[in-house]
Amino acid sequence: MKKEFSVTPWHVTGKVNYEKLIKEFGTQSVSVSLISKVKNPHSLLRRGLYFSHREFDLWLKDAQAGRKVSILTGRGPSEKMHLGHLIPFLLAKSLQESYNCPVYIPISEDEKFFVKKNLSFKEAQEFADDNVLDLIALGFKQGKTFIAKDFSYLPVYRNSAKIAKLISYSTAKAIFGLKPENNIGWTFYPAVQAFHILWPQFAEGPHKTLVPVGIDQDPFIRLTRDIATHSTLNFQKPSAIHSKFLPSLTGQAKMSSSEQENSLIYLSDSAEEVKKKINKYAFSGGKDTIEQHRKHGGNPDIDISFLYLKYLFEQDDKKLEKIHNDYKSGKLLTSELKNILIDKINAFLKEHIKRREDAKKHVDKFILE
């Protein structure tokens, strides 16, 4: 029987049932009481996009006790960055501010080069350099944030080799569903990402690291937790916190580059492009006519414009609640809701583009070679 949905690090299909994934992956669900323990919790935590974890509570305990902790999350540069890619980095930045801890950001050009058939070696490197600017522009702390690219950071190969020796082919195949026709670079890559996840401990000795990621990346976490305490490494098991996916404009489960361009908002989109894409493609929970909408109201909980405001662009809880209620009662029309989102995204992107230009002057302060 065909599965109703599937989530792997390289493909997401179908309508994702997140409760089922918690059971399937063997993770813990994020509770309200856990979030209440976080200092200045980001709206992504408070509003439920982060739904699953592995020992986030233990990381938090060490962070609150003032023991050494770190955060790590990475990017596979196969294209320009879109809004969905921001989710783990925004949480990483917020936790860095709350707990003043180092953030490590590995860039896996090798992964995307192996996995994406039509991506050349040169393009993978160009996207890596391009994406690094977007990441620095998010405002991570200089001197406490370390970015490294797999093709140029020397410790990657030697430490991945130590890890690769601990992973049998059948384990990798069972965790990642590797296929005989996959190239052997792809087959080796899980050892590289396991190194990434342990990178803070290779650099600073054993301590708790937190990995905020989309749930599609959990297989790497599982693998790394299994080998972290092996006698040749002697590290602590990393903790993780997993997000649901930011949906695409048309309402597909995951905003992703495998979707049509019109279904994504890139960080490099112009104000005109944003306006056109939202107006034309953003799935609406509104009624077919203005009369019906005024009479029966819309459904904000399936409306993509509302969901983007909720997860990314409206930080103020009171304002968000008013938008929710006004849309539900029919007072706020779909076109008005879309205009609120368009203005918010364009204000964010205008600033982002400025900060990205500025980042060009500081790249060498973040990148380790």
* Interface positions with ligand TYM (CB under 6 A): 9, 72-76, 84-85, 87-88, 106, 108, 111, 193, 196-197, 211, 213-214, 216-217, 243, 245-246, 254-256
Nearer to ligand TYM by C-beta: 236 or 297?
236
Do the Cβ atoms of 287 and 296 come closer than 8 Å? yes
- Quote the CA–CA distance of 141 and 98 in Å, as a whole number: 12
Nearer to ligand TYM by C-beta: 214 or 330?
214
Minimum CB separation of residue 100 from ligand TYM in Å reads 21
Q: How many residues does the chain have?
A: 369
Minimum CB separation of residue 161 from ligand TYM in Å reads 17
Minimum CB separation of residue 73 from ligand TYM in Å reads 5
Minimum CB separation of residue 215 from ligand TYM in Å reads 7
Minimum CB separation of residue 315 from ligand TYM in Å reads 18
Distances (CA, A) of 259 to 238, 271, 303: 32, 21, 19
Nearer to ligand TYM by C-beta: 99 or 104?
104
Nearer to ligand TYM by C-beta: 87 or 172?
87
Nearer to ligand TYM by C-beta: 132 or 213?
213
Nearer to ligand TYM by C-beta: 127 or 287?
127
Minimum CB separation of residue 115 from ligand TYM in Å reads 8
Nearer to ligand TYM by C-beta: 62 or 216?
216
- Quote the CA–CA distance of 32 and 41 in Å, as a whole number: 11
Nearer to ligand TYM by C-beta: 213 or 228?
213
Do the Cβ atoms of 208 and 58 come closer than 8 Å? yes
Query: How many Cα atoms sit within 13 Å of 259 on the Cβ side?
Result: 21
Minimum CB separation of residue 87 from ligand TYM in Å reads 4
- Residue among 196, 150, 162 nearest 369 (CA): 150
Pair type for strands 5-7 and 12-14? antiparallel
Nearer to ligand TYM by C-beta: 53 or 254?
254
Residue number with the smallest Cβ distance to ligand TYM: 214
- Tell me the two tokens of residue 65: 């006790």
How many C-beta atoms lie closer than 10 Å to residue 65's C-beta? 8
Minimum CB separation of residue 292 from ligand TYM in Å reads 31
Minimum CB separation of residue 199 from ligand TYM in Å reads 8
